[in-house]
Chain A
Amino acid sequence: MRRDIFQAIADPTRRAILALLAIQAMTPNALAEHFNSSRQAVSKHIQVLADCEAVTPKQTGREIYYHVNANKMKEVDKWLDTFRKIWEDRFNQLDDVLTDL
């Protein structure tokens, strides 16, 4: 299965996990408390996020805290940049068409 940032954010629970982790690093147990789904289900989502390198585990004492990997999240912004460029080019050409109308 393909593992990239888009896969990471394709699921609403995973987006919610990322939103929580963006505020502060958390342990899987602390994260699971925010969701109605089982701890196992939440763990699975965390695993997908880790596989996609959207989050990184860091050992602190006996606990593992998950952090958001900000660089990876930028891939989405990159896609949006391409999208923006397409529309900007398009609209600049429309300006020319309108001038001639």
Chain B
Amino acid sequence: MTHETEILKDPNNKQLNITRAFSAPVEKVWKAWTEAELLDKWWAPKPWKTITKTLDFKVGGFWLYCMAGPNGEKAWCRVDFTAITPAKSFDATASFCDEQGNVDKNFPPMNWHNVFSATATGSKVEIVLSFDSEADLEKIVQMGFKEGFTMGLGNLDELLAE
């Protein structure tokens, strides 16, 4: 069964709402979002791979990982956890960084608010991605492009073919 990914952009370009249903129960989806071994299996679209260096899933802790490309490219990212309600929701701030986790200030951080809930057929995840500054759209878009470049090279071929 395929599920649609719904993405809505607020009129101010400050926030993106992403909603996706899953056939699996909340507990499993939560696990897949919060355990390194599982995140590494799905977070990066093929042919890119997610390689977790460290993951400390608690408030004040962070996930440090890299996106590794098929030609040896690596992009480091860190996700700082700011609030956690087990099996219900977590908030985090995502940034680009170096291998040691030093944040790259050239890119504005992206805030996540992820809510997990049960549905009749399984579960759903609602993600609110927001940015600190609404006037910073250009940078945000660049970051989106960087993210797109980093993770979506598999999709790039398709885009180029259009």
B88 CB-CB contact with A under 8 Å: no
A32 CB-CB contact with B under 8 Å: no
A86 CB-CB contact with B under 8 Å: yes
Once bound together, how far apart are the Cα atoms of A91 and B6, in whole Å? Answer: 11
Residue B137 contacts which of A6, A82, A90, A101 (CB distance < 8 angstroms)?
A6
Q: Which residues of B contact A94 (CB under 8 A)?
A: 22, 29, 32, 42
Q: Which residues of A contact B9 (CB under 8 A)?
A: 80
Min CB distance A42 to B, Å, is: 17
B61 CB-CB contact with A under 8 Å: no
Task: Tell me how many residues of A have a C-beta within 8 Å of chain B.
Answer: 29
Do residues B5 and A87 form an inter-chain contact, with CB atoms below 8 A?
Answer: yes
A11 CB-CB contact with B under 8 Å: yes
B83 CB-CB contact with A under 8 Å: no
Q: Which residues of A contact B135 (CB under 8 A)?
A: 10-12
Q: List 10 A-B contacts (CB under 8 A).
A: A6-B142, A12-B135, A82-B145, A82-B159, A83-B16, A84-B7, A85-B158, A86-B152, A87-B5, A101-B32
**9 closest pairs, A vs B, by CB?**
A89-B45, A93-B42, A98-B24, A10-B138, A6-B138, A94-B42, A82-B148, A85-B155, A86-B152
